[in-house]
Amino acid sequence: MEASASTPVPGKALAMVCGIAGVALACLPYYAAAVPPMADLPAHVLVARIVADYSDAALRFSDYFTVEKFSFDSVPTLVVHSLAGKDLHSSS
């Protein structure tokens, strides 16, 4: 006998509840800690700031750093930078 769209499947509901509970438990350390367990977050923020303001003469980042527009090593930086709401390719 086939289950119709209106007939609940017991295993599917249990899997959904377990999945939601698993995701909630995995996210718990990020919300329960006073300081999030991300030791390298300040470094990522700094790199995103350097890339965002690289051409700003007042900050002089270009005197100390070289920014590559794209390489496979810079993909994590591109992700963090895009989450910060900046456009990497707007400055030449």
Going through the chain in order, the beta strands assigned E by DSSP cover none
Residue 60: pLDDT band by 50, 70, 90 thresholds? very high
71-88 pLDDT tens trace: 666 677 677 666 665 544
- Give me the torsion for CA of 41, 44, 46, 49, rounded to 10°: -130
| Domain range summary for the chain, segments of one domain joined by + | 41-90
What's the whole-number mean pLDDT along residues 56-72? 83
14-48 pLDDT tens trace: 889 999 999 999 888 778 877 766 778 788 778 77
Cβ neighbours for 62, distance < 8 A, ≥ 6 positions apart:
54, 55
The pLDDT score that the predictor gives to residue 81 is: 65
The Cα–Cα gap between 61 and 58 comes to 9
Which candidate, 56, 49, 57, places its Cα nearest to that of 81?
49
| Cβ atoms 51, 88 nearer than 8 A | yes
